[in-house]
Homo-oligomer: A and B are copies of this chain.
Amino acid sequence: MEHLKISEAQRVIFESLTTLDSESVLLEHSLGRVLADDIRANRDLPPYDVSAMDGYAVRSADLAQVPVTLEVIEDIKAGDMPGKIVQPGQCARIMTGAPVPQGADAVMRVEDTQEISTNLIQVITTIKDGHDVRPQGENMRNGDVVLSAGTEITPGVIGILATVKITQMQVYRRPRVAILSTGNELEAINDPVDMNKIPDSNSYALMAQVQALGITPALLGIARDDPAELERYLKLGLEYDVLLVSGGTSVGVHDYVRPTIEKLGVAMKFWRVAMKPGHPLAFGVLHGTSGASEKGATQRDAVVFGLPGNPVSSMVCFEEFVAPALRRMMGHTRLFRRTVSARLAHPLKMRPGRTEFVRVQLTHDDTGYIASSTGTQSSGVLLSMARADGLLVMPSDSTGLAAGAQVTVQLLDGTVYQDGTNIRE
């Protein structure tokens, strides 16, 4: 089989997946989820014309000639209803958010007036009809769809949900994800140190990548290079919506993962993608119906990602393929890592053929972002990933880049905030 391009592999994955069913969550547990239903306004907001300022509700026509002295006829707080109609030559003291009384059509801010006595003010500037008045229904009109199904629930969206008094709503379910590491060479985290073994970091790095998407995965542990043991583990993993297996999908003679997965009814869609690091990457689908011949077999579809055993490769494959897949299952439309444009701090060599992901740190100067390699790009060196702010993408036809070249960098976790504000006040 040919090496697939990244975008082709992503397309194969997306064609094999659907958005999951929905479930009900409480408002306080909804952040980051995706709405499965439209949300409608339950009233006009504001319910009537309200003041946008602390000041005086006036008749704008009274201010045609200034200065002018106005009588203050009442005091309207937010939450109060006006008791009087503002007549020519009159005004009402009004608070932000309070209803504009009948007769008045504009609000003069308190800073632009002068108090002459308790119930007399002087106004020296003119304002137009509607000035500093927020009209009825400006925010939302009763019955209108204010949030569509498919909307990601951000803090602003939660503000809207609270505004229309939604305390519970339908959101797309999160996939159940299982993580399995494979290989005799691996040492479990609670095992004593054995110099001849390699600590299992993939289970935990993958766990954290899954957690970063709001999903709590199940860690199945480490399957040894034994077909029977591997089959037991894989069978268990296929009861989840998504199974991530790291290691054991290489072309070497001791890799049992692929044949065992296929034996369990998984249709392998591809196992090679033209990227570096990230070789090999396998993807397969178990259809609930075809896989349901044995007792206890799942009735649902399951998908399997066979990830490289190398820690960096495993993490990069997760970013490019697994995260988009999991986000799609949760109803998201934004599936890919945010990119920024950056200037390369130093030359980069490249052997064309496969798209390369280079771990970089980002700094910032007056002209924008500067990307510099985190050091060795060996896929065994996980520290280069731990230090990375992003993945610089080298196109497959590139033969290298000079210092100063403009590059595209995918931002990784930990980059939502930055050291300085980078704003000019």
Q: Which one of B99, B154, B335, B420 lies within 8 Å of A336 (CB-CB)?
A: B420
Q: Chain B's nearest CB lies how many Å from the CB of A256?
A: 12
In the complex, A422→B411 CA distance in Å? 12
Chain B residues with CB under 8 Å of A385's CB are 156, 159
Contact indicator A204/B7 (Cβ below 8 Å): no
Query: Which residue of chain B lies nearest to A422 when distances are taken between CB atoms in the complex?
Result: B339
Chain B residues with CB under 8 Å of A425's CB are 5-7, 274, 355, 395-396
Q: Restricting to A288-324, which residues have a CB under 8 Å from any CB of B?
A: 309-311, 315, 323
Contact indicator B196/A160 (Cβ below 8 Å): no
| A62 at the binding interface (Cβ < 8 Å) | no
| A341 at the binding interface (Cβ < 8 Å) | yes
Q: Chain B's nearest CB lies how many Å from the CB of A332?
A: 7
| A101 at the binding interface (Cβ < 8 Å) | no
In the complex, A183→B28 CA distance in Å? 22
Query: Which residue of chain B lies nearest to A97 when distances are taken between CB atoms in the complex?
Result: B185
In the complex, A145→B323 CA distance in Å? 31
| A24 at the binding interface (Cβ < 8 Å) | no
Among the 9-residue stretches A119-127, A161-169, A237-245, the one with 4 or more Cβ atoms under 8 Å from chain B is A161-169
Contact indicator A205/B417 (Cβ below 8 Å): no
Q: Restricting to A181-200, which residues have a CB under 8 Å from any CB of B?
A: 183-186, 189-190, 193, 195-200
Q: Which one of B27, B75, B99, B337 lies within 8 Å of A417 (CB-CB)?
A: B337
